[in-house]
Amino acid sequence: MAETETAIQSKVNAVFSSFKGTENELLPLLQRVQEELGYLPQEAMLEVARFIHVPESRVYSAVSFYSQFRLKPAGRRHITVCRGTACHVRGAEKIQETLERELGIKEGETTADLEFSLEAVACVGCCALAPCIVINGEKVLGRLTPQKVQRAVQKVKKEEGRQDAQKDHPCEPGDVL
């Protein structure tokens, strides 16, 4: 969820307390701030630049260079589509197209209600279950088909708020987002 400027500042300051403020801390700082806020708003990047005494442009170029950094808030359900080789040969492109169609967003975007966001990455480490997607960076769903994905998204949209915790088994062949 998007934060107010004051909330952002206070969270960023809390992150700074465990760093020294040196230039070589740029990437770990950005990672920690993103973990805290879910993305890197402009105010946070400015604070980071001031904290480590580098020009703002240095922070912006690092953020735009590394795909791990997000400039917009992630959705409550952040969906990562695996586009690695095993998933690619088993239809990852169709999985992504289905997600984009069902969610009404493109890869790299977040729905207006901040419920879903979508990104594509290389192998997520569950190739035997290809094609896979990952929910909120922790739950892998595999052996997907466009039909399973479509049903799962529609089900989640109907059952707002429902969560299916299967954290003990990170690689799941299931079809629930």
147 binds ligand FES (CB under 6 A): no
Nearest distance in Å: CB 128, ligand FES = 8
What string marks each residue from 77 to 116 as x (binds ligand FES by CB under 6 A) or -? Answer: -----x-xxxx-----------------------------
The Cα-based distances of 120 to 4, 24, 100, 112, 159 in angstroms read: 28, 28, 11, 19, 25
Determine contact, residues 97/147, Cβ cutoff 8 Å: no
Q: Is the peptide bond before 131 cis (omega within 30 degrees of 0)?
A: yes
Q: Is 120 a residue that touches ligand FES (CB under 6 A)?
A: no
In angstroms, what is the minimal distance from the CB of 106 to ligand FES?
20
Specify the length of the chain in residues.
177
Number of residues engaging ligand FES in binding (CB under 6 A): 12
User: CA 134 to CA 61: how far, in whole Å?
Assistant: 27
Q: Which is nearer to ligand FES, 8 or 140 (CB)?
A: 140
> Nearest CA to 126 among 114, 109, 143?
143
User: Does residue 144 belong to the site contacting ligand FES (CB under 6 A)?
Assistant: no
Contacts with ligand FES by CB under 6 A lie at 82, 84-87, 123-127, 130, 132
